[in-house]
Amino acid sequence: MRDGDKAAGAAMVAAAAGVVIAMGHHPSGAHGGGLAGFVHGAMIVLLATLTFGFLHLARRRGLDRPAVLAGLVAYGIGLVGHVSAATINGFAVPALAARGGAGHDLFLLAWELNQALAKLGVYATAASYLCWSADFIADKRTAPRLLGLAGLAAGAVPAVLLAAGAIRMDVAGALVVYAAQVGWAALVGLYLLRYGALAHRPEGD
């Protein structure tokens, strides 16, 4: 096992737990004040940490593999969506509220932008999980295949629920989505910690 596997694995497990904790403290009010900035700032840092782990995973699996590279591109798009949504609700909206005088239409615009970007993040992350999971399932070894099957569920289920209107990207719905998505990230982290070599796809496989 490489030292990089341990670092990436530990970072992913810790960041996944951090996301769930941060979402549990997400303010339910429209503006949230200082708490909104703290929670959303923490989410951005945790998302960056997960990105570090997934970048390591993609390198280990092989960026020359189409599914791995496509997954990385999709994850990057999802990261932009999530970070942008967090920036709007965590910093732009509280700043507008603190200034005073901002009309309802401006807050409504900020909300719609947040929702559009959050949904982009969910769908793009789901696409990345499906790509990476397809690569894992095509592996001849049992453990990567099981990890791939879990990734299919973690990617598809939240996206389908959101698309069907069964959940919304409010606090409750976002907690469901992010718990599923970071749950798989934690599994990836645990595999990197326990079976670092499984991250590597054998030549000719």
Buried b (16+ CB within 10 A) or exposed e, 164-192: eeebbbeeebbbbbbbbbbbbbbbbbbbb
What is the tens place of the pLDDT at every residue in 3-13?
A: 789 999 999 99
Over residues 148-157, the pLDDT tens digits come to 999 999 999 9
Q: Give the predicted TM-score (pTM) of the model.
A: 0.90
**What are the angstrom distances between the C-alpha of 121 and each of 46, 60, 61?**
15, 24, 23
Question: What is residue 199's three-state secondary structure?
Answer: helix
pLDDT higher at 104 or 70: 70
In the chain, domain spans: 3-199
Q: For the residues 117-137, what does the mean pLDDT come to?
A: 97
How does pLDDT run across 15-54, given as a tens digit for each residue? 999 999 998 877 765 455 577 888 999 999 999 999 999 9
For residue 149, the SS3 value is helix
Helix (H) or strand (E) holding 57: helix 33-61
State residue 86 phi and psi, 5-degree precision. Answer: -65, -35
103 falls in which pLDDT band (50, 70, 90)? confident
With H, G, I as helix, E, B as strand and everything else as coil, classify residue 60: helix
Tokens of 34: 């200082």
Average model confidence (pLDDT) across the chain: 90
In this structure, what is the dihedral angle of CA atoms 139, 145, 150, 154, given to the nearest 10 degrees? 10
CB 60 within 8 A of CB 15: no
| Dihedral sign, Cα of residue 163, residue 84, residue 10, residue 136 | positive
The DSSP element (H or E) to which 52 belongs, if any, is: helix 33-61
